[in-house]
Amino acid sequence: MRIGMAFGDVRGPSPLPEITRQLHAAAAAGVRSAWISDGVGWDALTALAAVGPTPSGMELGTAVVPFPQRHPLLLARQALTTQAAVGGHLTLGIGAGIARMVETMYGLPTDQPAARLREYLQVLHSLLRGDPVDHHGKHYTAVGQLTPPADDRPEVLVAALGPVMLKVAGELAGGTITWMTGPRTLSNHVVPSITRAAGSRVPRVVAGFAVCLTSAEDAVRARFAQEFALAGQVPEYRAMLEREGADGPADILLAGDEAAIGKQLDRIRDAGATDVMLAPIGTAEEQRRTSEYLSTVVR
């Protein structure tokens, strides 16, 4: 199981130079992948382009870019530009976004998310390959052609949690990225569902978790429960928490001392995750200690 780290909004507001510093420090420590979320703060693709390539050639990914508000022609251009800026190490993670935010903030439809995703991916892959596109579908119209460098297109992963979305991700993407999804749900639902859909291919399952190295586990979980209470009520995440038998986000937080976090990582690996995306949370000092510990795990 490859160990990566998350940066950006999920860890709290940070200036872009600080995100760049954190990311390069992680690369120097041997972290295999770095992921930037795309919420209401920094634009993930622009932020990665600003970071540029790391000396270690670490994988740089978005986790994830909501696609409803980005036409596939626009997203393909942004992705190919960022791919060039980071030296060919981009992994493009996309998702349908939180339906409530897509509807409220952008006034866009959120019905038939799997059908929209399937059509979007078909157009996006053609554009990333440089094929001419003349698509007039139920949900998207796209006419045009991009000219990417040969064999330099990013891998595409999809944030998929429900059975139908996982089927589309398995068939048309390189794998999935999860959040608010515990090891039991990974083992019993996510991994078998996407593996069946992928057929002969082995899909990536990038499992995202918040993590905090601490000697005050109960206090950290209580604070996390309060800070992420709204996220725990999002229907998409709520469904995964219920599958897990978890009351809320704090129940799947990775927290405790080194031995406790190590055991929790073992459970995630045994559940079938190919990658883990860890987001250190808490105060600046807690995040620093957690990041230092994770660098020893990588080594």
> Taking all residues of the chain, what is their mean pLDDT, rounded to a whole number?
95
**pLDDT band at 285, cuts 50/70/90?**
very high
In order of 114, 241, 275, the CA distances from 251 in angstroms are 29, 9, 21
Q: Classify the C-alpha dihedral 87-93-99-100 as positive or negative.
A: negative
pLDDT tens per residue across span 42-62: 999 999 999 999 988 999 999
Under CATH, to which class is 2-298 assigned? Answer: alpha beta
Chain centroid to CA 158: 8
Res 46: pLDDT: 96
Q: How much of the chain exceeds pLDDT 90, in percent?
A: 89
DSSP structure class, residue 286: H
Q: Record the pTM.
A: 0.96
The percent of residues in the chain predicted with pLDDT above 70, rounded, is 100
Element (H, E) at 242: helix 235-244
Beta carbons within 10 angstroms of residue 285's beta carbon = 8
Residues 6+ away with beta carbon under 8 Å from 124: 72, 75, 76, 94, 156
> How far is the C-alpha of 137 from the C-alpha of 221, rounded, in Å?
46
Question: What digits encode the pLDDT tens for the residues 207-237?
Answer: 999 999 999 999 999 999 999 998 899 999 9
Least-confidence region, from 96-110, 115-129, 161-175, 187-201: 96-110
The pLDDT tens digits for 130-186 are 999 999 999 999 999 998 876 789 999 999 999 999 999 999 999 999 999 999 999
Residue partners of 147: CB distance under 8 A and separation at least 6: 130
Angle at which helices 99-106 and 235-244 cross, to 10°: 170
User: If pLDDT is split at 50, 70 and 90, which confidence band does 12 have?
Assistant: confident
